[in-house]
């Protein structure tokens, strides 16, 4: 009975997840692209906000520029490269994945992997010496 309950549970969860992660299909619209691009860049005069969120004049100008270049048919990468070439790599909200900046992506993952491995090893070692009471 219990087992059946768990099986039913797994099925319900599975169906719900499939329904929920269905793609709404279609390529992103220009507005959606503009929004997601704007979220990639840091407002240069604010403290950590994205260009999408900020009201500062510098952000507005960058948003206008993004819009203009989208109108010219540039790709997301081209627009990103342009802005980096004018404002410097600090305008990106996420550090690039190459070069020294890659460390910030790699280190936490490496640390977690190491820690988990350490835990597994420790549990193995302790498990062997466990004596049932």
| Among 28, 25, 26, CA closest to 37 | 28
97 is an interface residue for another protein by CB under 8 A: no
Smallest gap from residue 125 Cβ to another protein (A):
9
Smallest gap from residue 48 Cβ to another protein (A):
5
Structure tokens at 22: 């269905």
17 is an interface residue for another protein by CB under 8 A: yes
Angle at 46 between CA 64 and CA 66, to 5 degrees: 15
61 is an interface residue for another protein by CB under 8 A: yes
| Among 112, 110, 91, 109, CA closest to 43 | 91
Instruction: Say which residues have a Cβ less than 8 Å from residue 108's Cβ, sequence separation at least 6.
Output: none
Distance CA 88, CA 92 (A): 8
Choose between 10 and 75: whose C-beta lies nearer to another protein: 10
The binding site for another protein (CB under 8 A) comprises 2, 5-6, 9, 12-13, 16-17, 19-22, 24, 39-40, 42, 44-45, 47-50, 53-55, 57-58, 60-62, 64-65, 68, 83-96, 100-101, 103-105, 107-108, 111-112, 115-116, 119, 122-123, 126-127, 129-130
């Amino acid at each position: 009975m219990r087992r059946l309950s768990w099986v039913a549970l797994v099925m319900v969860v599975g169906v719900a997840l499939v329904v929920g992660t269905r793609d709404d299909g279609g390529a992103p619209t220009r507005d959606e692209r503009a929004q997601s691009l704007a979220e990639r860049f840091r407002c240069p005069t604010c403290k950590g906000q994205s260009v999408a969120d900020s009201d500062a004049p510098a952000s507005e100008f960058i948003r206008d520029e993004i819009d203009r270049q989208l109108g010219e048919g540039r790709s997301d990468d081209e627009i990103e490269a342009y802005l980096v070439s004018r404002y410097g790599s600090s305008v990106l909200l996420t550090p690039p994945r190459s070069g020294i900046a890659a460390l910030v992506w790699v280190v936490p993952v490496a640390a977690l992997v190491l820690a988990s491995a350490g835990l597994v090893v420790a549990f193995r070692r302790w498990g062997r010496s466990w004596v049932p009471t």
